[in-house]
Amino acid sequence: MNRYSISFVLPMYNELESIEDSVEEISIIGNSISKDYEVIIADDGSTDGSAEISDRLARINSHVKVVHLLSNTKFGGALRAGLKAATKELIIYTDSDLPVSFLDIKKSLLLIDEADIVTATSIIKKGENRRRRIISKVYNLLVQSLFKMDIKDANSGYKIYRKSVLEGMELKSESPFIDVEIFLKAKKNGARIVEYPLVFRLRRQGSSKISRMSVILKTFLDMLRCKFSR
């Protein structure tokens, strides 16, 4: 397990209640699975004080780095900035409330030996309201139909990338559609993508920002741009 250096990338927007606990847990995980790791918090223009907490964490923990965006990009811009700042062999992206257990991180890392990207597929929709389940289902059906992509859960909040797969990749999406954009460009370059079935942990603090109407609209516009500019 210590064979790889690892960058943990956490896109963050207004996670005052969860970011400190998440970084503490990731630091424990990082020390357990790698001799060389970093934690990159990509702050998407937070306004609730979580950006200041992140800066404090970086001052007291040399493994932590913070990338600040001046305004909220609706997720994609923050993920792009975090991926760009990552310096290690493997990049583990996870939502900033850390919905993945240590055990699942260890198990899914084993798959990277035979793949370039490992992406989680949620097998039980715990804690999601009916509106969010419908949005997720419709979105994945659109992605599968428009782009002939067979990944079941394109926007799951946990992925492992080989850094080499992302090098030279020009990403344009500023919404959650960035996940699909990465898959499409990686597959075009011959990357191997495998899915890892996962039961995501329930959010312990705060609330998800991903189902805001402004995020949904931007995702749809990015999807259309990608479809008709190919």
**Is the separation of the CB atoms in 89 and 6 below 8 Å?**
yes
Neighbouring residues of 30: CB distance < 8 A, sequence distance ≥ 6: 6, 8, 37, 39, 63
- Which structure tokens are listed for 45? 């223009």
The whole-angstrom separation of Cα 161 and Cα 116 is 6
Q: What is the CA radius of gyration of the chain?
A: 16
CATH class of the 6-229 domain in this structure: alpha beta
Domain spans of the chain, in order of start: 6-229
Q: Which uninterrupted H or E stretch holds 221?
A: helix 213-229
pLDDT in tens, the chain (230 residues): 578 999 999 999 999 999 999 999 999 999 999 999 999 999 999 999 999 999 999 999 999 999 999 999 999 999 999 999 999 999 999 999 999 999 999 999 999 999 999 999 988 655 566 777 788 888 999 999 999 999 999 989 999 999 999 999 999 999 999 999 999 999 999 999 999 999 988 766 666 666 678 889 999 999 999 988 86
pTM of the entire predicted model: 0.92
- Please report, to the nearest 10 degrees, the dihedral formed by the alpha carbons of residues 65, 70, 72, 77 taken in order: -60
11: closest CA among 94, 73, 72, 92? Answer: 94
Token reading at 10: 């956490």
